[in-house]
Amino acid sequence: MDSPALLWFRQDLRLADNPALHAVAGRPVLPVFVLDDEAAGVWAPGGAARWWLRQSLAALGAELAMRGAPLLLARGRAEIVIPALAGSIGATEVLAGRLYEPWARERDRRIAEALAAAGRRLRLCTSAVLREPAKVMSGSGKPYAVYTPFAKAVAALGEPDAPLPGPERLQPVAAPPPGETLGELGLYPVPGEPDWAAAFGTLWTPGEAGAQARLARFLSGPVAGYGAQRNDPGMEGTSGLSPHLRWGEISPRQVWHAVRRAQPGDLSVSWPFLSEILWREFSYHLLWHRPEMPERALRERFTGFPWQPDAALLRAWQHGRTGYPIVDAGMRQLWRLGWMHNRVRMIAASVLVKHLLQPWQAGAAWFWDTLVDADLASNSASWQWVAGSGSDAAPYFRIFNPVLQGEKFDPAGRYVRRFLPELARLPDRWLHRPWEAPEAVLRGAGVTLGRDYPRPVVGPAEGRQRALAAFAALGGGAEEPAA
């Protein structure tokens, strides 16, 4: 009889295309999830992500139970829990999907050592990315620092392997140890705190089935016009797969192959969307090779940037009270639904770090707590891109004008009117610049600036000049590439 195996679910909460699960076929298996907030530290799941994780674990547990091997839930230090569980069932192997966060890599190293000391093995499988970051290197043997050559290098490797099927049945271990209930994990809601995620369920269905349904909906329509529609926040032109990918309820190669089947032929046909999958890959590539990315500027020059931390300005941005409708609509969407359209994320981030001169780390921390798709690689890479401090970043002096951005990408005001109902009656001409509207127009729309809606905390022209002055204070001339 094959020896038992411990199957450690982490950020791969699915059965199909799960290489670790596929590898234990035919063996007695104990599936386990360990909530290890201590090891993650400040990068433990934020509030919105904890809501998602609770629903996703419930869905995964139900699917595993149907196949004969219930999911064991545990809470504590994984470097203690995992070796203890492996010993209790006599497992010779612990299998898991590889993680790329610096804290997780260090934890896996310690767990591998502890298991090896007991004659056991930690086996990590590629589960969250198309290609291992350590294996995609430039011709000179160095990691990539620019997206375009990285994307070309990945595309040149050919189509990813076909996704693996999920199991029909699983063989459980003879005497599984007791675990905790989902409620005992304390994920969400937090006792004594308001249920601020109450509306999340109107938009999201966490779990593998929800991920497949979301993918099917995308392929049934929006994918065909993705290149033209992805920047319009007022319509459903994006896939909405980001939280499902973040928790591994669907794999990037499942998505890749599904899109290729829906848009067969030359890769250029499906490139508008697949290039976004490769941006995600690039973020993981950067995190693997530059583990300081979540906390420190990748461009050394920006470590001395003259930020002007201001709690009141940060709070206005967080609460959707900057006075810029496209930004405030995005921040209200984020708070209500745990997600924000990607184009609006860029605009909101640019206003925070450039017009308001707040550190990008403060914005990244807020997104980490409020996004259901909060992903350390993508979140930190994206914030550094906007701030100009990242690898292959937009130049700092590229400053989005939030008024013009709103007028360009939400010209009919569908997005702003949805999330800022106090401005719904303003004519399109003034919707993205209400402080310029004639008093009669404001009265007709039932808007009193300073009462119903704020004036800009910093004017557009003033914000741009502040940003340029701060950049000039850095000195050093032109932008330099990240090392």
CB atoms within 10 A of CB 379: 23
pLDDT in tens, 2-58: 899 999 999 999 999 999 999 999 999 999 999 999 999 999 999 999 999 999 999
pLDDT at position 483: 35
pLDDT at position 66: 98
pLDDT at position 396: 77
Instruction: Find residue 35's DSSP bridge partners.
Output: 75
Q: Annotated active-site positions, please?
A: 276, 279, 307, 342, 360, 383
Residues 6+ apart with CB under 8 A from 321: 315, 328, 454, 457
pLDDT at position 476: 53
pLDDT at position 1: 53
pLDDT in tens, 186-200: 999 877 777 889 899
pLDDT at position 480: 42
Per the rule left: phi > 0, alpha: psi between -120 and 50, beta: everything else, 323 is left
pLDDT at position 189: 82
**Strand (E) positions, 151-260?**
171-172
pLDDT at position 478: 42
Q: Classify 69 as helix, strand or coil.
A: coil
User: For residue 207, what is the enclosing H or E element?
Assistant: none
pLDDT at position 61 over 90: yes
Tokens of 279: 């941006």
pLDDT in tens, 389-422: 998 877 877 899 999 999 999 999 999 999 999 9
Taking the C-alpha atoms of residue 281 and residue 251, their distance in angstroms, rounded to an integer, is 12
pLDDT in tens, 287-346: 999 999 999 999 999 999 999 999 999 999 999 999 999 999 999 999 999 999 999 999
Taking the C-alpha atoms of residue 399 and residue 195, their distance in angstroms, rounded to an integer, is 36
Q: Which residues contribute to the annotated binding site? A: 226, 238-242, 273, 373-375
pLDDT at position 395: 81
Share of the chain above pLDDT 90, in %: 91
Range name among 49-58, 143-152, 223-232 with the lowest pLDDT average? 223-232
pLDDT at position 82 over 50: yes
Q: Determine if the peptide bond prior to 264 is cis (ω within 30°).
A: no
Range name among 118-122, 152-156, 221-225 with the lowest pLDDT average? 221-225
Distances (CA, A) of 110 to 36, 76, 102: 14, 15, 13
Tokens of 144: 């990539």
Length of the chain: 483
Taking the C-alpha atoms of residue 51 and residue 45, their distance in angstroms, rounded to an integer, is 9
pLDDT at position 477 over 60: no
Mean pLDDT computed over 427-454: 98
Whole-number average pLDDT of the chain: 95
pLDDT in tens, 256-275: 999 999 999 888 889 999 99
Q: What does the domain layout of the chain look like in residue ranges?
A: 5-127, 129-161+206-289, 300-473
Distances (CA, A) of 447 to 207, 278, 429, 434: 42, 44, 15, 9
- Is 129-161+206-289 a domain of CATH 3.90.1170.50? no
pLDDT at position 355: 97
As its CATH architecture, domain 5-127 has 3-Layer(aba) Sandwich (3.40)
Nearest to 296 by CA among 387, 397, 400, 394: 387
Q: At what angle do helices 311-318 and 360-370 cross, to 10 degrees?
A: 40
Q: Which residues contribute to the annotated binding site for FAD? A: 226, 238-242, 273, 373-375
**pTM of the full predicted structure?**
0.95
Which residue type, as a one-letter code, is found at position 470? A
pLDDT at position 269: 87
Mean pLDDT computed over 449-471: 96
pLDDT band for position 366 (50/70/90)?
very high
Nearest to 301 by CA among 395, 381, 207: 395
Tokens of 264: 């067969």
- Is 300-473 a domain of CATH 1.10.10.10? no
Would the CATH topology of 5-127 be identical to that of 129-161+206-289? Answer: no
pLDDT band for position 481 (50/70/90)?
very low
Taking the C-alpha atoms of residue 220 and residue 129, their distance in angstroms, rounded to an integer, is 25
